[in-house]
Amino acid sequence: MKRRSDCGHVSNGGENPRVVRAVEKGAIQTAVTFKELFKDWYDKSCSKEKSAHAEIYRSFELHIFDRFGALPAGKITLHMWLDTLEGMAARIPAIADRILMNAKECYWWGVKRQLVEENPLDRLDGGSDLRIPRNVQVRPLADLELFYIWRALNGSRLAYKNKLLMKLALAYACRWGELRLAEKSHFDFQTKIWTVPPENHKIGRITGKPLLRPIMPHTEELIREAFMLSPKHQFVFVSGRTGARMSPTSQTSWTYRIQEWVLRNFRYEMRHWTIHDFRASARTRFSKLTDPHIAEKMIGHKLKGVWELYDRHDYIEEQKLTVLGSGLITMRLMIASSYPSAARAWR
């Protein structure tokens, strides 16, 4: 008599047990190790995209391969990574940050090619989870830097939806989280108003009031493009992998990739910057175009003293003029960025 486990009958779940076991055995035998995954990503992506690729490889060679190199990449858990990275963050924080950022990219590269099923590091943040000091200093970006950033937003391989988000962040000087959390219903193309609910912006937790921002022709075009990229979702910006809302850490590598692109294509080395620096850049620009209290309202700052208490005006018309004026300055960047030789005029 044959054992039940050897029979070709279909199980209650609708699957043939022998087929399931064969598939599982094959998956185990063909599982890619972390070192194999990393080297594949390094050869096909990292070494071609990043000028510091040799330092990146050396960091993994010194700190990761001995521990995780021979293990199946899909079996290394978040806890295992934390055990390694937490100790490194205390001793060599810059190296820990480099490994975390590049391991994330490596895993996502593998997910897209179905070499691994998920990215265990997706929600791990170097600052909040590993306490890696960032020494963040907000600074306005110079026109020359904005010129090169705009070139990268038009010419780099950064995902198009991410480019749209960054352009809108520069246009509105808003916090990037306000765009990450934005739903399509928040944009009224009839009244030309973008409403940011209190729960989606920083001072809304204190004031309980929404932020109202004007939708201008040049920003409407960007917003409608973003809508088209996520036609079936309530959020304007979603993850390309899952269709879910973007994670809070999804933008951590964008500026690094832009800096790498600018260096590779123009031999121009930018100082470290973040999307948050767009706020300082735009706020500086707004000062040339409108009154201080309007500029503060536009970037979502709480007005001081009795001004906040008694002044309930939304200044939409004034905001329109400021966003329009800022857009004209940005258009100058766009025109200049269409002609590579124009970069000399910005120096």
Q: What is the predicted pLDDT for the residue at 342?
A: 45
CB 116 within 8 A of CB 107: yes
Task: Give the β-pairing of 211-214 and 193-196.
Answer: antiparallel
Residues contacting residue 155 through CB under 8 Å, at least 6 positions apart: 261, 265
Q: What is the predicted pLDDT for the residue at 65?
A: 96
Q: For all residues of the chain together, what is the average pLDDT?
A: 79
Q: What is the predicted pLDDT for the residue at 217?
A: 85
Q: C-alpha 173: how far from its chain's center?
A: 16
What whole-number distance in Å separates Cα of residue 15 and Cα of residue 13?
6
Q: What is the predicted pLDDT for the residue at 21?
A: 53
At residue 15, the 3 state secondary structure works out as coil
Whether the predicted pLDDT of 294 surpasses 90: no
CB 83 within 8 A of CB 124: no
Q: What is the predicted pLDDT for the residue at 19?
A: 45
The secondary structure of 203-265, three-state, reads CHHHHCCCEEEECCHHHHHHHHHHHHHCCCCCECCECCCCCCECCCCCCCCHHHHHHHHHHHH
- Give the ranges where 17-142 is alpha helix by DSSP (H): 17-30, 34-41, 47-49, 53-63, 65-68, 78-91, 93-112
At residue 171, the 3 state secondary structure works out as helix
Identify which has the larger pLDDT, 291 or 212: 212
Lowest-confidence range among 40-54, 178-192, 219-233, 321-335? 321-335
